[in-house]
Chain A
Amino acid sequence: MACATNAGRFAKMGGREIRPVSWESAAPTAILLVSLPAIALGTRADAVRALWHVVGFGMVYVIAWWALTRTVSPAARLLCLAAVAAVCVPAAWAKLPPTVAKSQRMQNSDSESDLLWSFGFQHSTQRIGRAQPLVGAVEGYEVHVRLAAPYAGPARLFAAVNGVEVGQLSWPADEDTDQIEAVAAVPAAVLSGLNTRPPQARPALALPLTRRLDDADRIAHIVVWADRASSDLRIVAQRALGGTTLGQENSWFYSGERWYAGVLHAATGTVRPGLWHVFLARGHVGR
């Protein structure tokens, strides 16, 4: 009960001074008291969503209230707090169709993307190649090829390392669809002595690197191919190559006749600088 006198002094009730309640100080409380039930009403169909909004809005509003009290005039504060409520409360009443969220899922790749796309072999003479520096011991390595999506068709992937065929790549049928990696073990003997024994293989299995190698570098030549054309068996590729040691020569594409430095961008049909998601690693590369 506010009892301000005309002289602006405060009345006393029960020995305590009673301050008048001005609209500037009452209005933020009123906005909060109106907003919270409005949020609860808007989210009543889902208890977790209601809780998320009530706690979220409550904290954001209180923090904004305090910060604005320190920095702006009461009228400006009121305006800002009303704006906070006007932006936040309608979100509690929103009902988006499930298709909205589905259309905005994270993707392993997108054929149309210039950043991260995928490639399917168009005939069995095509090859993709990777030149990857190795560090440390050579034991325990595997070839990992990242696939864009699960594949259960008849096409099979094969790999060669340093001109030596390491066999068919395989992946479990129940692989996490978010990170499917086709794998084949690489015998240590294939990787040992890389400095002194550059690949001497038929052209389709040897990458024509032009970059001069440092003595300390040990570069593994990885070549992957499919036994038949398959547009569904897709290997991921990307544009960025800033982390590679060899720059554009880290990745190669063999057309069936000759090697090109770079990766094939299927949507445009061009070979461009990039990186195949083909790695020599000792375990899953994406977990």
Chain B
Amino acid sequence: MSRGAPQDAAAPRWLYPVLALLTAIGAAARLAHDPWIAHQAPAYARLLEGQLIMRDTADFHGIVPFVAGATPFAGGHIGMEHYRAWLPVYGAGVVYFWTRDLYWSMALIDLVSVWLGAVCMYRLARRLGVSSAGSAIAAVLTAASPVYASVIWMQQIHGANTASLVWGSYAALLVLDGEFDSGRAVWRSTAAMGLALFGTSLLYNYVWVVVPCLFAVVAVEGTRRRARLLILLLGVLGYAGLTIATRRALTLAGWPLFPQDSDPERRVLRLLQGAGESGALVAVVKGMDPRHMASVFHPLPLLVGIAGMCLGTARLRVAGALSTVLAAYQGALADVPWAVINNYPFVYAGTGVAIVSIASLARQARPRAGLWAACALTALLVAVANVDVVGDYSLVRGAWIWLHAPI
């Protein structure tokens, strides 16, 4: 697939405004009530500019004003929690400079991120070989997803957290598909891949999901396999070089990165170190609990999505399967349901495939039944995942069980 391929055809005109509307409705519906965090884990609730937020937002409420020119830096240290959110923090800092409103500077970045995530979902699904209708369904489900809501509507205010997985996957896949190819030279594509991965690492560090999936896609597709493998390998090296240079620059500037046990790099090292020990890997595998995933997505969209993945293209199948294993692995390490979401772009792409397939069957029975079936199924999946809007917090409790104390 290259530039100008059908996958790059413009989305239906109604789609992006509808996604914006869904994002706004989701926000308004939750902001009209008290946020999840207050219902779920009251002791984590705090106030920021009169709004309820989750305590974890403390990660950013020091560094955002610092970026916007408030000195000295009140955060005490720059840790991985700041580094991996470099770009959202920068964006929030710029908005804060203009608005002087800390809550809304971070919340605005979150809201725009959700919309951009849904927009990129359409594009990513097209790249994964999903039809235009299926991709639009995937984008709608993404905009209304509890995966996004569980970050934003918890009032966690982690700028762009989660949504950036779609952006990163889309950008890297685009480069892999030849967006920046120029003749036989690979330097442009290599530089673009390095930058795409570096950018992804500064947007919640989903490199650890994106890169394995790209290698898997290259492995199962015969087209330009050697050239694409070269671009990917050199791109990873470029990403590593940029990362080392940036971290070195932070150290030279007097603020070395404060290590965190949850850093992906540390986790991988621990896994490799533990691989030689008997039972270490077995314990991780045993810790993979499929119920965690169902708790986050809601069982129905998850099942439909996985069925759709199986019906999809080879790249959707392989990327979906691998990201699902990685998500389950992360869930086993963290033992919290909300961590088991790193396959959501592929789950929703799969859902789009499944719903279009069902609609096709319905159309064979009656011509207009296909459209109605697709709309009804999409509405059903949106509804079951958003029941908190009408006061049913069961899905939220399942996803955020680690925070939940019986109250």
Contacts and interface: CB of A to CB of B under 8 A. Distances in A.
B37 to A, nearest CB: 9
Given A115-B52, A116-B52, A286-B43, A242 B34 contact: yes
A240 B31 CA distance: 12
Interface in B233-255: 246, 249-250, 252-255
A98 interface: yes
A243 B43 contact: no
A236 B97 CA distance: 32
Contacts of B34: 115, 238-240, 242
Interface in A87-143: 87-88, 90-91, 93-98, 100-102, 104-110, 113, 115-116, 132-135
28 contacts: A51-B246, A52-B67, A62-B195, A91-B94, A91-B97, A91-B98, A94-B68, A94-B97, A97-B70, A98-B72, A100-B65, A106-B46, A106-B61, A107-B46, A115-B51, A135-B406, A178-B55, A239-B38, A240-B34, A240-B35, A240-B39, A242-B33, A242-B391, A243-B404, A244-B407, A245-B406, A286-B43, A286-B44
B69 A47 contact: no
A56 interface: yes
**Which of A90, A101, A133, A238 has most B Cβ within 10 Å?**
A101
A134 B202 CA distance: 43
Contact of B94 (A88, A108, A113, A238): A88
Contacts of B69: 49, 91, 93-96
Contacts of B97: 90-91, 94, 96
B197 to A, nearest CB: 12
Interface residues of B, number: 65
Interface of A: 46-53, 55-57, 59-60, 62-63, 70, 87-88, 90-91, 93-98, 100-102, 104-110, 113, 115-116, 132-135, 144, 146, 178-179, 181, 238-245, 250, 275, 277, 279, 281, 285-286
Nearest to A70: B8
B182 to A, nearest CB: 13
B301 to A, nearest CB: 23
B407 A243 contact: yes
A48 B406 contact: no
Contact of A240 (B38, B72, B78): B38
B10 to A, nearest CB: 9
Contacts of A146: 43
Interface of B: 8, 33-35, 38-53, 55, 57-58, 61-62, 65-74, 78, 86-87, 89-91, 93-94, 97-98, 100, 102, 195, 198-199, 202, 246, 249-250, 252-255, 391, 393, 397, 404-407
A103 B349 CA distance: 45
Nearest to B82: A52
Contacts of B46: 106-108, 116
Contact of B407 (A56, A70, A110, A250): A250
Given A53-B90, A91-B69, A243-B404, A109 B49 contact: no
A47 B52 CA distance: 33
**Which of A91, A181, A250 has most B Cβ within 10 Å?**
A91
Contact of B61 (A62, A70, A105, A238): A105
Nearest to A146: B43
A64 B407 CA distance: 47
Given A106-B55, A243-B39, 15 more contacts: A48-B73, A52-B67, A55-B86, A59-B195, A87-B94, A91-B68, A93-B69, A102-B74, A104-B48, A106-B57, A181-B43, A238-B38, A277-B42, A279-B407, A285-B43
A53 to B, nearest CB: 7
| Majority DSSP secondary structure for residues of A touching B | mixed
A116 B42 CA distance: 10
B47 A87 contact: no
A100 B90 contact: no
Nearest to B49: A104
Nearest to B192: A66
A178 B76 CA distance: 15
Contacts of B70: 96-98, 100-101
Contacts of B102: 104
B66 A49 contact: yes
A115 B405 contact: no
A116 B37 CA distance: 12
A279 B43 contact: yes
Contacts of A279: 43, 405, 407
Contacts of A133: 406
